[in-house]
Structure 1
Amino acid sequence: MAGDSAEIIIRRIKKVAAAGHHGGAWKVAYADFVTAMMAFFMVMWIVGISDKQQRAAISDYFNNPSATVGEAQKPAPGANGPGGSADSVIDLNGTMNRPKPDEAREPRTPAMPKDIEKAARAIDRQRLEALRQDLLEAIRNSQTLQPFKDQLLLDLTKEGLRIQIVDQQNRPMFDLGGATLKPYTTVILAELAKFIDTVPNHISISGHTDVTQYGNAAGYTNWELSTDRANAARRALIAGGMSEDKIDRIVGLASTVLFDKAHPDDPTNRRISIVVMNRDTDGKETDDAGDAAAQGVAVPENGVVAATADGGTAIIGAGLPSPAAALPKAAP
């Protein structure tokens, strides 16, 4: 019977643990690296597109971040009453740190908003100068504007970029004694609208007449006529594609601001003046450059720029001949 017993076989199975993942720590490190590179390239991009004044403003911000507008002021030490909290560090002997006399007299870092405003003004001026250059280029080369180069005057004033469209002998902008635009005047304004609409600045439009009194209707004077002509220019600009929201004011000045004082009945005194306003003027009352406009001379920043008959430009500043000298004179 012993020979009939089954043989007992014992099998030992050795289990080997499969190699697991190496962990996710490398993913965290890689994510930190990618984030750092993104931040680095963002900094390089900002440095590349900003000018010297903007970089100085950014530097001042990070040197003194507490100077930002709207930040709450810290309470004075002990302002919360006995037992209240204070913002000073307490020494081990239980007394508050007092500012040293030299530290108390140290001048504070200039406020950040001034730096921002200065940089914003610089950007605004660069924008208006670029618009002036684009318009001058169009006046020289555009088939639409080039024929009227003698009637388009551009100058930078204390209020912004001023664009003046003046009458010329045998080529008036409006019907005689009326506010109906000539077809070519509509074309000029439609072309100007495309350029003006490329900048965010608001504009003002003023109408001017010469000293000849309008007498076709009782009570209708050069004041009404100049205002109606300014409104006609507004409608033409909007029809040309300019946003209506850009218009800040419409003004009729009659003959109070003559372009050529020496010849008050000269056609150049009949004109439309469009001012693309800068930051300082936007929302404020303009005087259309006051005496400077009356003398035909811009507030002397860059001088008056007038397109000449040979396709170039003439820069006329204070002490030099009036822009009217660059235009063909009307017969007496």
Structure 2
Amino acid sequence: MARKKTESNGGPSGQEWLATYSDTVTLLLTFFILLYSFSTVDAQKLKNLSAAMQTVLSGQGGTSILEYNINTGNAPLVGEDMNTDAAQNVGQATDMYSTVKEFIEKNNMQSSVQIKEDERGVIIQLRDNILFESGKADLKDNSKSILDKINSLISTFPNNIIVEGHTDNLPINTFKFESNWELSTARAVNVVRYFVEQRGHNPVRFSAAGYGEFKPVAPNDTADNKAMNRRVNILIVATEKEKKK
């Protein structure tokens, strides 16, 4: 506690407030340094804190430490950054997956499709024999009912759609398909054409890719595993804000 200075005659000097002021500034400085020690330090934060403290200590007009963050929207100086966008993004991506899952279950499509989630978005996976005859790329007539259900689902999303064709490692060499590249690509293209030409979707949203046998989900060592690798993926592409961090 500051002691009052007195004149030689025992009266007050008139400068007593300086001791109280200096004590207060010291306490404030210690307080803010302590709080900042708990924060995530980066160069921008250090610069902001330094400028704010200089303003306070010099007695100049300006923005205080707390006002700086409120007015500019920068991350708080105290504590771990709260990335609200990231929190919302995770929620949005989860919502999209939940919507697809609920739709599949409601329409009893579990035996026909699988749903997966990866860093690109939500994948609706179909075995090739649901859509195509062996070694062919023309859509089977009875496959269009399931594509129509998927169409009603993707119509509820504004996201881009990528259709990916995959095969097993059995080679193919026909007049129409010289390799599994051509077969997988043709299958993906025909699914895209169905959505665009038959169901009226904007073609800008859609793209097709064929990967042949080069992105298997299982070793090509049994008939069951090969059947798993022969598939068509309909990927609902997550936006940057929907992607998990």
* TM-score normalised by the chain length of structure 1: 0.46
Q: Secondary structure at the match of 1:108?
A: helix
User: Structure 1 residues 118, 225: closer, same or farther in 2, change over 3 A?
Assistant: same
Asked if 1:130 is matched to 2:95, the reply is: no
Residue in 2 that maps onto 1:229: 187
Asked if 1:159 is matched to 2:159, the reply is: no
Asked if 1:250 is matched to 2:219, the reply is: no
Instruction: Name structure 1 gaps, 5 residues minimum.
Output: 1-87, 89-95, 285-298, 300-332
Task: Report the residue type matching 2:95 in the other structure.
Answer: Q
The 8 Å contact of residues 192 and 237 in structure 1, kept in 2 or not, is answered as no
Q: Determine the C-alpha separation between the residues in 1 that align with 2:97 and 2:206.
A: 17
Q: Determine the C-alpha separation between the residues in 1 that align with 2:113 and 2:168.
A: 18
The 8 Å contact of residues 231 and 250 in structure 1, kept in 2 or not, is answered as yes
- Pick from 135, 140, 158: which aligns with 1:182? 140
* TM-score normalised by the chain length of structure 2: 0.60
Q: Determine the C-alpha separation between the residues in 2 that align with 1:244 and 1:127.
A: 20
Q: Determine the C-alpha separation between the residues in 2 that align with 1:238 and 1:194.
A: 13
| Alignment map for 1:75-154 (pairs within 5 Å) | 97-99=60-62, 103=64, 108-109=69-70, 110-111=73-74, 115-116=84-85, 118-138=87-107, 140=108, 145=109, 149-154=110-115
Q: Determine the C-alpha separation between the residues in 1 that align with 2:88 and 2:203.
A: 25
Asked if 1:192 is matched to 2:150, the reply is: yes
User: Structure 1 residues 116, 281: closer, same or farther in 2, change over 3 A?
Assistant: closer
Instruction: Name structure 2 gaps, 5 residues minimum.
Output: 1-54, 76-82
Q: Secondary structure at the match of 2:131?
A: coil
Residue in 1 that maps onto 2:233: 273
Instruction: Work out which of the two has the higher radius of gyration on C-alpha atoms and give 1 or 2.
Output: 1
Q: Determine the C-alpha separation between the residues in 2 that align with 1:104 and 1:173.
A: 62
User: Structure 1 residues 111, 275: closer, same or farther in 2, change over 3 A?
Assistant: farther
TM-aligned CA deviation for residue 248 of structure 1: 4.0
Task: Report the residue type matching 2:92 in the other structure.
Answer: I
Compute the RMSD of aligned alpha carbons: 3.7
The 8 Å contact of residues 165 and 209 in structure 2, kept in 1 or not, is answered as yes
Bigger RCO (CA 8 Å, 6+ sep): 2
TM-aligned CA deviation for residue 223 of structure 1: 0.5
The 8 Å contact of residues 132 and 154 in structure 1, kept in 2 or not, is answered as yes
User: Structure 1 residues 224, 119: closer, same or farther in 2, change over 3 A?
Assistant: same
What number of residue pairs does the alignment pair up?
A: 179
Q: Secondary structure at the match of 2:115?
A: strand
The 8 Å contact of residues 207 and 230 in structure 1, kept in 2 or not, is answered as yes
More helix by percentage: 2
